[in-house]
Amino acid sequence: MALVERRADVVWEGDLRQGAGRLRVGSGAFPELSVTFSARAETPDGKTSPEELLAAAHAICYAMALTYVLTQAGQPPERVAVTAVCGWDPMALRVVRMALRPQAQAAGLTTDRFQELARQAEQLCPVSNALRGNVEIMLEFK
């Protein structure tokens, strides 16, 4: 199978503290997004950040992996919801952790079985696999 590629373009103008960037994605799936360092390290103020986008990518990817694992296990979900929280250390200039908070509704799915399958899905998730060994990945259950 051929390698699948996706594209994103950023234009940054000005210095780090006072400057700003504009993000566009090749698919056109969402409008141009603004990024600033202050939105990254302080208050978002309606702008995004690399860490927010990483959390979004991880939540989407993990939701797909969890849906797949549940279905393969004979527990096709009616609904899957995932919250991903990316933690970065601005002093170390490093993303240090990603917390995934999955939920699913599937007929007959017990809490223990769900948690077992959620762990399996985390091992299959391509974004988890890209981060693994460099970023702590935590599964948090209610």
Set out the domains of the chain in order of their start, with CATH numbers: 8-41 (no CATH), 50-139 (3.30.300.20)
DSSP helix/strand/coil, 25: strand
Distance of alpha carbon 111 from alpha carbon 114, whole angstroms: 5
Q: What pLDDT, on the 0 to 100 scale, is given for residue 102?
A: 98
Average pLDDT of the segment spanning 32-58: 95
Does the pLDDT at position 109 exceed 90? yes
Average pLDDT of the segment spanning 18-22: 96
Average pLDDT of the segment spanning 8-13: 97
- pLDDT tens by residue, 76-102: 999 999 999 999 998 999 999 999 999
Give me the torsion for CA of 64, 138, 4, 36, rounded to 10°. 110
Residue-averaged pLDDT of the chain: 96
Q: What pLDDT, on the 0 to 100 scale, is given for residue 1?
A: 82
Backbone angles phi, psi at 91, to 5 degrees: -75, -40
Distance of alpha carbon 91 from alpha carbon 30, whole angstroms: 31
DSSP-assigned beta bridge partners for residue 100: 84, 139
The band of 142, judged by pLDDT with boundaries at 50, 70 and 90, is: confident
